[in-house]
Amino acid sequence: MATRIVTLPGDGIGPEILAPAVDLLKRFVPDVTIEEHVFGGASIDAHGTALTDDTLAACRAADGVLLAAVGGPKWDTTDASKPRPEQGLLGLRKGMGLYANLRPVRPLPALYDASPLRREIIDGTDLLVVRELTGGIYFGEKTRTETTASDLCAYSAEEIERIARSAFEAARTKVTSVDKANVLETSRLWRQVVVDLHQREFSHIPLEHVLVDNAAMQLVSNPTSFDVIVTENLFGDILSDEAAMLTGSIGMLPSASLGAGGPGLFEPVHGSAPDIAGQGIANPLAMFLSTALLLRHGLNLESEATSLESAVDKALDQGLRTRDLGGTASTAEATEAVLAALG
Ligand code: NAD
Ligand code: IPM
Ligand code: MN
């Protein structure tokens, strides 16, 4: 049966980076069927909601979902009753049961000088942020009056254990569990559940606990000390943007969101970059690397995934630099460079 992929271009630079990624995907999976749906702000404009029931059903029925980015000033509002593009993203992650968000941070030597950090600090970094994606403060009860507001941060032991398991399974040398157990009750439960699972099933893997503020500092002072970082939803969101700068640009970082069986969702870590949308200058590499993660985790095509990643590495080695990396290459030129590297 043909491979069915749902694509969600979203907003801003989304359509500009998704189109070439689909071209690449077709080279690796010639029989792929692409079903595109409006999503985020574009879906609010078309249907009044960021994620329609139809789109969610199509995503659940696909072999994988490729998403670019959502959001933009057009839909920014502080009015809680108005729809927001980001609600579509959260609804999709929750609706597909995608609790494990993998964000690999693998800076390439060719890009060491594109990072604001010194080469000797970055050199040898190869880490993975395992971000819990369907719980915590993102999904707790929200309240709002004229003068007060609250967002509940809640976690169950079951939610913590399954993400901790994903982290231990992905670990090569160590798991660093990041929390705020000196203040937050959710973090104290987090730590206890991680320790219990470690003792029961993964005691052969070194485990350490680092408080989130300290982790933020160590990510830029001693990034090579990390292997797998596992953390709750909000901490993982913030730490992964920070970690992206080790690779030179937020435009380099891909992600895979996986659940228990079922299709995965593959998307860059960055957003819709409204400040550069429509100019054809967005860096498409995080989108391409997310496509590689779709090949690997979504379609079980390991050698195809590696070929695509190697082509991105080669293009960068040969001098490809978009503006965010200090160069002048357009999105189209970056795409051509990767295609040429694929041979
Ligand atoms: P952003 O990631 O969109 O942009 C931050 C900065 O990085 C901008 O200067 C932008 O130009 C640059 N940048 C991002 N991606 C780039 C790329 N591929 N190539 C070159 N430069 C790139 O973050 P933001 O500005 O805080 O958010 C903009 C909108 O995106 C908001 O509505 C936000 O909610 C949304 N957002 C969506 C996602 C998603 O869809 N997964 C992720 C993050 C933010
Ligand atoms: C991300 C984004 C989203 C998040 C937003 C757009 C809801 O920042 O994917 O990192 O916070 O998860
Ligand atoms: Mn984010």
Q: Whose CA is nearest to atom 1 of ligand 2?
A: 269
Give 271-285 pLDDT, tens digit per residue. 999 999 999 999 999
Q: How far is the CA of 81 from the centre of ligand 3 (A)?
A: 23
Q: For the chain, what percent of residues have pLDDT higher than 90?
A: 98
Residue 31 pLDDT: 95
d(CA 108, CA 294): 21
The answer to whether residue 1 scores a pLDDT higher than 80 is: no
d(CA 3, CA 22): 13
Q: Is 138 among the residues known to form the active site? A: yes
Say which of 174, 241, 313, 314 is annotated catalytic.
241
Give 14-36 pLDDT, tens digit per residue. 999 999 999 999 999 999 999 99
Residue 331 pLDDT: 98
Which superfamily does CATH assign the domain made up of 116-247 to? Isopropylmalate Dehydrogenase (3.40.718.10)
Check for a shared fold between 1-99+251-343 and 116-247.
yes
End-to-end alpha-carbon separation of the chain, Å? 28
d(CA 10, CA 13): 8
Which ligand ends up closest to the CA of 40?
1
Q: Whose CA is nearest to atom 8 of ligand 1?
A: 273
**3-class state of residue 100 by DSSP:** strand
Distances, alpha carbon 67 to alpha carbons 18, 161, 167, 256, in Å? 8, 27, 23, 10
Average model confidence (pLDDT) for the chain?
Answer: 97
**Predicted confidence band of residue 343 (pLDDT cuts 50, 70, 90):** confident
Q: How far is the CA of 107 from the centre of ligand 2 (A)?
A: 22
The answer to whether residue 184 scores a pLDDT higher than 90 is: yes
Residue 86 near ligand 2, beta carbon < 6 Å: yes
Fold of domain 1-99+251-343: Isopropylmalate Dehydrogenase (3.40.718)
Residue 81 sits at φ, ψ, to 5 deg, of -85, -10
Report the amino acid identity of residue 250: I
Residue 251 near ligand 1, beta carbon < 6 Å: yes
DSSP secondary structure letters along 67-119: EEE---GGG--S-TTS--HHHHHHHHHHHTT--EEEEEE---GGGGGGSSS-H
Tell which atom from ligand 2 comes closest to the C-alpha of 240. Answer: 10
Give 118-156 pLDDT, tens digit per residue. 999 999 999 999 999 999 999 999 999 999 999 999 999
Domain range annotation of the chain: 1-99+251-343, 116-247
Nearest to 10 by CA among 85, 64, 65, 84: 85
Give 306-328 pLDDT, tens digit per residue. 999 999 999 999 999 999 999 99
The answer to whether residue 303 scores a pLDDT higher than 90 is: yes
Q: Whose CA is nearest to atom 26 of ligand 1?
A: 271
Residue 80 pLDDT: 86
d(CA 161, CA 30): 39
Average pLDDT of the segment spanning 2-20: 97
